[in-house]
Amino acid sequence: MTSELSPVDRAKFASAARAAEFVEDGMRVGLGTGSTAAWLVRCLGDKVRDNGLKFRGVPTSTRTAKLAREVGIEVITLDEAGWLDVTIDGADEFDGDLNLIKGGGGALLQEKIVATASDKMVVITDPAKSVETLGKFPLPVEVIPFGMRTTKTLIEEALGSMDVSGRDVTLRMDGDAPFVTDEGNHILDLHLGRIGNARQMALTLNQLPGVVENGLFIDICDVVVIGHSDGQVELRDVTSGGAQRQRPDAPKTDNLFRDLDG
C-alpha cells in the first residue's frame, strides 16, 4: 500500500501510474531508464497481466529491457518499431519550457534516439527536479573512448566561452573503472551550476570531435507528469502551458522496484 512507501517512492509511483494511462492497445511505446521508469514498467506490466493491455515496448537500456520482459511486456527494437506513439521516461531536471537534463543513469544516447522517434514524449518526475535554469544537475556527455582526454580538453575549452557558473569536467566512474554505456562509450559529467543558453550548449557540444551525444533534451518533451508524496500528480503540457492536479489509484503491491537506479 502507498502508506507503507517512503515519500519519494509514493511520488514516483504516482507519476508512473498516471503516465501509464497514456499507453493504449496497439501502441509502440518507448520505455525509459531509471528508478521512476522502473515504476512505469511495473505499472504497465500490471496492466498487461490484469487488464489484457497489448502493446510493444522499445527499451532505452538493457536494464529496462530485462525488467520489461520479466513483467510480461513484449519487447522489440526501435528498427522493428519504425516509429513510436509515445515515449515515457524520467528526467534529472526540467525547466519551465519542459527542456530537460537526462543521463544520470547513463542511457542518454538511446533515450534521446527513442524520444525523438516518438509522436509524444512524456516525462515522469517529482517536484525536486523542477528548476528555473538547467545546470544544477551535472550535464552528462557521452564520448567515445578513443582520444577521450583530447575530447575532454576540447569540452573544457568550449566551456570557456559559454554562459555557465562552473566548468569542472569529470569522468564518470563505476568503482575503480570508467563507467561504460550500452554502446561501449564513456560519460563526462559537466558540473556547470547554471546553463545560461541550453540550446547553444547542446549544439556546441555535439560539434566537438569525440562527442557522441549530450544530455540536454531541448524541445523534445511534450508533457511532464509530476508525482507528489501525497499521491497527487500534476500534469504540465508544453502546448497549453497549464497544469492539472489528479490522484491515481493506489498500487496493489508495496514493491519498491528499487532494482533500477535513476
Instruction: Quote the CA–CA distance of 199 and 184 in Å, as a whole number.
Output: 27
Q: Is 3 annotated as a binding residue?
A: no
Q: Is 102 annotated as a binding residue?
A: yes
Strands 86-89 and 121-125: parallel
Q: Is 133 annotated as a binding residue?
A: no
Q: Is 92 annotated as a binding residue?
A: yes
DSSP output for 98-150: --EE--TTS-HHHHHHHHHTBS-EEEEE-GGGB-SSTTSSPEEEEE-STTHHH
Q: Which residues contact 101 (CB under 8 A, 6 or more apart)?
A: 91, 92, 93, 94, 134, 135, 137, 139, 140, 215, 216, 217
Task: Say how far residue 234 (Cα) sits from the centre of its chain.
Answer: 18
Q: Is 36 annotated as a binding residue?
A: yes
Q: Is 150 annotated as a binding residue?
A: no
Give backbone dihedrals phi and psi of 108, rounded to 5 degrees, phi first: -60, -35
Instruction: Quote the CA–CA distance of 242 and 231 in Å, as a whole number.
Output: 20
Q: Is 91 annotated as a binding residue?
A: yes
Q: Is 34 annotated as a binding residue?
A: yes
In angstroms, the Cα distances linking 26 to 56, 121, 234 are 7, 17, 27
Q: Is 135 annotated as a binding residue?
A: no
Q: Which residues contact 249 (CB under 8 A, 6 or more apart)?
A: 17
Strands 223-227 and 216-217: unpaired
Q: Is 175 annotated as a binding residue?
A: no
Q: Is 166 annotated as a binding residue?
A: no
In angstroms, the Cα distances linking 222 to 2, 239, 242 are 28, 7, 12
Q: Is 116 annotated as a binding residue?
A: no
Catalytic residue positions, numbered: 111
Q: Is 2 annotated as a binding residue?
A: no
Which of 149, 154, 139 shows the shortest CA–CA distance to 191? 139
Q: List, as residue ranges, the binding site for substrate.
A: 33-36, 89-92, 102-105, 129
Q: List, as residue ranges, the binding site.
A: 33-36, 89-92, 102-105, 129
